[in-house]
């Protein structure tokens, strides 16, 4: 990653490091102290700038999924880059918060302000820009979490991330509220601190009321309205329709396995050295799965989701595992999917390993 950033710096391409990667590298005592999945970087949204950045990556052996080439396909993300080894993925963003949040003028204004207040920092010979500490907490953590795809939920790292920023920069609740007001997000901010606050030592992770609390507040701030959500669904539907036929076979196999309890590993060409991004495949699989189970609540399909996801990704050479765990008190069984680093961020069930200790996995550990 550093070599690529050095190349961008040499070509005068501005970039902003944000989210988990930046927190791990700059806010924690060691990068290993904070898990992160993808590397999130914000670039200016000019097509020429994004194209130049991607071409510099391609010249160094990185791969891309091609999204950058057609701005009509852009969301808040403009491109995805995959390292030559396949171990690192970079998500290039144009907006700090999700484009689904509402009016793009507002989304652009939040992004503009974060850029304007950002600070340069030396990272082992590369000059990078990072959000101001207040913006790290308010814009890139609280608003980005609740005004986007994670709306209504928390992630396990939210509390320690806020606590680390509080400790490192002497942030107060009043400081953060003042900044949230300038970004028109004060209702969202107040709701977030009700369920996640190192100042009040509150972290209501995984509780049902948390989703309701965080779901209502953005609407009061004028974002994430029903109209915004339907606009998003209509935007992604054409892309999902293209992918859905390719996962039909694996969805049916996964549903059959979930029903019978028999785990049949799909035929595969072996481990894929350049695996596809799992997110669009899994999203398409969920759409097909819901067509097979109309009217069933998503929370009631976690077993099916695990089996289907396992089938889809293993069939494409992605190294994932189907894991079964059991609650030691109730005896309830749960299934989920892991990669080589544990439960992926995109899977959406981060605490399952704590609540349901593992009893079996497929394929078995070597």
- Whether the per-residue pLDDT at 129 is higher than 90: the answer is yes
| Residues, the chain | 366
In the prediction, which pLDDT does 269 show? 52
* Distance (Å, whole) CA 65 – CA 240: 15
Instruction: List CB contacts of 79: < 8 A, sequence separation 6 or more.
Output: 50, 53, 54, 64, 65, 67, 68, 91, 92
Rounded distance, CA 333 to CA 255, Å? 17
**Does residue 275 register a pLDDT over 70?**
no
The pLDDT of residue 278 is above 90? no
Quick one: pLDDT at residue 162? 97
CB-count burial class (<10 Å; 0-12, 13-18, 19+) for 19: buried
**Cα–Cα distance measured from residue 183 to residue 356, given in angstroms and rounded to the nearest whole number:** 40
Kindly list the structural domains of the chain, giving each domain's residue range(s) and its CATH number in brackets, ordered by start: 2-220 (3.30.460.40), 226-362 (no CATH)
Alpha-carbon distance of 357 to 271, in angstroms, equals 27
Give the whole-angstrom CA distance, residue 253 versus residue 257: 6
> Is the model's pTM score more than 0.95?
no
Give residue 279's pLDDT: 76
CA atoms within 13 A on the CB side of 142: 33
Sign of CA dihedral 78, 79, 80, 85: negative
Query: Can you tell me the mean pLDDT for 219-238?
Result: 70
What percent of the chain is predicted at pLDDT more than 90? 52
Task: Tell me the pLDDT of the chain averaged across its residues.
Answer: 87
pLDDT score of 126: 94
The pLDDT score that the predictor gives to residue 53 is 97
The reported pLDDT for the residue numbered 318 is 87
Q: How confident is the model at residue 100 (pLDDT cuts 50, 70, 90)?
A: low
Q: What is the mean pLDDT of residues 74-96?
A: 89
Among the listed residues 210, 198, 132, the one whose alpha carbon sits nearest the alpha carbon of residue 163: 198
Q: How far is CA 236 from CA 102, 229, 231, 248, 250, in A?
A: 15, 11, 9, 18, 21
Confidence of residue 224 (pLDDT cuts 50, 70, 90): low
DSSP per position, 225-287: -HHHHHHHHHHHHHHHHHHHHHHHHHHHHHHHHHHH----PPP-SS--SSPPPHHHHHHHHHH
Q: Give the model confidence (pLDDT) of 161-217 as tens digits.
A: 999 999 999 999 999 999 999 999 999 999 999 999 999 999 998 787 888 888 888
Q: What is the pLDDT confidence band of residue 357, given thresholds at 50, 70 and 90?
A: very high
Of 151-155, 162-166, 228-232, least confident by mean pLDDT is: 228-232
**Bridge pairing between strands 39-42 and 16-18:** antiparallel
- Please provide the DSSP assignment of 273-330 as one string: SSPPPHHHHHHHHHHHHHHHSTT--GGGGHHHHHHHHHHHHHTTT---EEEEEE-TTT
């Amino acid at each position: 990653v550093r070599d690529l950033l050095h190349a961008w710096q040499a070509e005068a391409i501005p970039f902003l490091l944000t989210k988990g990667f930046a927190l791990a590298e700059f806010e924690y005592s060691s990068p290993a102290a904070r898990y992160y999945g993808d590397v999130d970087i914000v670039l200016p949204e000019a097509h020429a700038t994004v194209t130049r950045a991607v071409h510099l990556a391609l010249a160094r052996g990185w791969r891309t999924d091609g999204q950058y080439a057609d701005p009509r396909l852009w969301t808040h993300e403009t491109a995805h880059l995959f390292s030559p080894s396949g171990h690192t993925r970079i998500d290039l963003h144009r907006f700090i918060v999700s484009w689904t949040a509402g009016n793009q003028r507002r989304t652009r204004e939040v992004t503009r302000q974060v850029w304007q207040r950002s600070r340069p920092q030396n990272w082992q010979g590369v000059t990078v820009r990072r959000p101001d500490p207040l913006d790290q907490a308010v814009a890139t953590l609280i608003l980005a979490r609740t005004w986007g795809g994670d709306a209504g939920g928390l992630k396990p790292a939210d509390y320690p991330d806020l606590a680390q920023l509080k400790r490192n920069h002497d942030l107060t609740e009043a400081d953060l509220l003042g900044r949230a007001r300038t970004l028109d997000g004060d209702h969202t901010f107040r709701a977030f601190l009700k369920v996640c606050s190192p100042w009040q030592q509150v972290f209501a992770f995984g509780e049902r009321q948390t989703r309701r609390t965080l779901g209502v507040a953005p609407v009061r701030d004028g974002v994430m309205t029903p109209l915004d959500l339907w606009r998003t669904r209509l935007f992604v539907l054409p892309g999902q329709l293209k992918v859905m036929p390719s996962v039909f076979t694996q969805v049916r196999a996964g549903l059959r396995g979930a029903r019978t309890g028999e785990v049949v590993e799909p035929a595969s060409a072996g481990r894929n050295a350049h695996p596809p991004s799992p997110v669009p495949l899994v999203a398409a699989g969920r759409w097909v799965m819901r067509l097979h189970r109309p009217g069933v609540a998503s929370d009631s399909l976690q077993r099916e989701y695990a089996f289907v996801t396992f089938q889809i990704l293993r069939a494409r050479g992605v190294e994932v595992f189907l894991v079964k765990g059991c609650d030691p008190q109730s005896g309830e069984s749960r299934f989920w999917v892991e990669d080589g680093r544990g439960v992926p961020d995109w899977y959406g069930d981060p605490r399952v390993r704590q609540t349901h200790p593992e009893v079996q996995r497929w394929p078995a550990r070597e």
